[in-house]
Structure 1
């Protein structure tokens, strides 16, 4: 495996950071932009090695004592979901984004910034600024984040994502105060969108697909067959109810859940503006 790489995207304004399984896009605005990009590159260099060093503990349901900055973010992000089964790995992408964003903000002159780690995004929005984030839903859309809003993290999970899911959601997008929390919550809500025992859903032990999976022998979704309208609504309602409880506890601000073209939202801050696919 090659070492950490940093390259400008064709627009010359965004930076692509790559190392092993990690792919990040960093965008920064403000007078301190150049120095902030340098800090992001410097911090990214050690990120993967730090995570690998603590993987055995991060794959445990309770996490265990950890030392590195990102690992600590992961452990803290999943703590609110106990006693439900979850390991700190559910927050790895969001926590990594937060770590790089923290490096970006370690100096002055950043008015807006974001770190997109495979679709899980950490934001910085200075007073008077706004940012727009894409939302995964049956109708592609966006949500506008303003400086006074509490949301600084957006993450998406589902059965079709990079990680294995215990549920059947096509996508669950979560808005939360931080990217690590949003990442963990999206995983948990996506797990809750489910029809246990349904014959059209094919499940296999996670370890059969990924021998080192933190999910072990737990059955993860491999394929979802035909579902009728009522079954889709039932599965979404299970996830909506779980998401609503997270909103009520103040863990997340909002969520958008989708399955087979149907969509439900939770939380008053979800304001999706439909985007014309021909002009996206």
Structure 2
């Protein structure tokens, strides 16, 4: 299947699709030039990633050789600083890296004031001086969980969300974790690892299966991934969220992320400003 590109009915957003990559692109300024650059760059991205796919699916270590392709290098550079945190492959940053690469092509070839490339919820963001960006955080059922408010001064270039309801498999039980970082690739891998840390090992309400039994091509191999999580008490949710928050604050202290919001069954925690949760009244049952 060849890459597909079309303007959406609003005439302002561009839809790019090829295999698992499904991008929504928007820009202010020299939009036509930016979109032409996005289409041209997107045409070869998936083929470039596939060429190095076996190596990109392997567990990452400090001794792992840097790959050749531009997107693969973005994946490597985002994941390597966090490779000490459990099991990590460079696929943890693939969606964000593709979004970053398309946005980079746009900013190189057009004068744009604001732009985003949204790859299934992993967003590369460009804000020129004096501009701002606001968006909502949505649950898997469409309910609004919170808001994100950033300006160019915040130096946020990426927003990513991970969790057990996302497109990828998760080792944890978080409904979702949203991360803001310098790039979409960095936000992508951090969201994945923070979501993995929101967990209740051996809890009877959590059902897991080997990743390869769900998806034979998963880079997680035989690792147990979460397939369902029953209703939990507020106290148990908070305990699981605290584990994820510890990892998020560690990443923040290291300068790997700017902020994060973690969500589980109506409960939420954040590392600070920019991610603003909406308090919801949820009925919890005892664990």
The CA distance in 1 between the partners of 2:24 and 2:110, in whole Å, is 21
Change (3 A) 1:273 1:13: farther
The CA distance in 2 between the partners of 1:133 and 1:153, in whole Å, is 13
SS at match of 2:58: coil
Residues 117-156 of structure 1: CA distance to partner in whole angstroms, max 9, x if unpaired? 0000001111111111222467433222211112110000
The CA distance in 2 between the partners of 1:273 and 1:261, in whole Å, is 9
Q: Is the 8 A contact 2:245 2:269 kept in 1?
A: yes
Residues 257-276 of structure 1: CA distance to partner in whole angstroms, max 9, x if unpaired? 000010111133334578xx
Q: Does 1:101 align with 2:103?
A: yes
Q: Does 1:54 align with 2:52?
A: yes
Q: Is the 8 A contact 1:58 1:87 kept in 2?
A: yes
Spell out the pairing of 1:13-28 with structure 2 (5 A cutoff): 13-28=12-27
Deviation at 1:61, TM superposition (A): 1.4
Paired residue for 1:174? 179
Paired residue for 1:165? 170
Out of 132-141 and 153-162, give the one that drifted further.
132-141
Q: Is the 8 A contact 1:57 1:64 kept in 2?
A: no
TM, length-normalised to structure 1:
0.93
Paired residue for 2:263? 258
Paired residue for 1:71? 72
Query: Among 125, 134, 137, which residue is 2:136 paired with?
Result: 134
The CA distance in 1 between the partners of 2:272 and 2:13, in whole Å, is 31
SS at match of 2:167: coil
Paired residue for 1:200? 205
Residues 139-178 of structure 1: CA distance to partner in whole angstroms, max 9, x if unpaired? 4332222111121100000011110000000000001111
Deviation at 1:212, TM superposition (A): 1.5
Query: Among 216, 220, 228, which residue is 2:225 paired with?
Result: 220
Residues 188-226 of structure 1: CA distance to partner in whole angstroms, max 9, x if unpaired? 000000000111111111011111211011000011113
Residues 62-87 of structure 1: CA distance to partner in whole angstroms, max 9, x if unpaired? 25431111000001111121222110
Change (3 A) 1:212 1:195: same
Q: Is the 8 A contact 1:5 1:17 kept in 2?
A: yes
SS at match of 2:221: coil
The CA distance in 1 between the partners of 2:161 and 2:110, in whole Å, is 30
The CA distance in 2 between the partners of 1:111 and 1:83, in whole Å, is 37
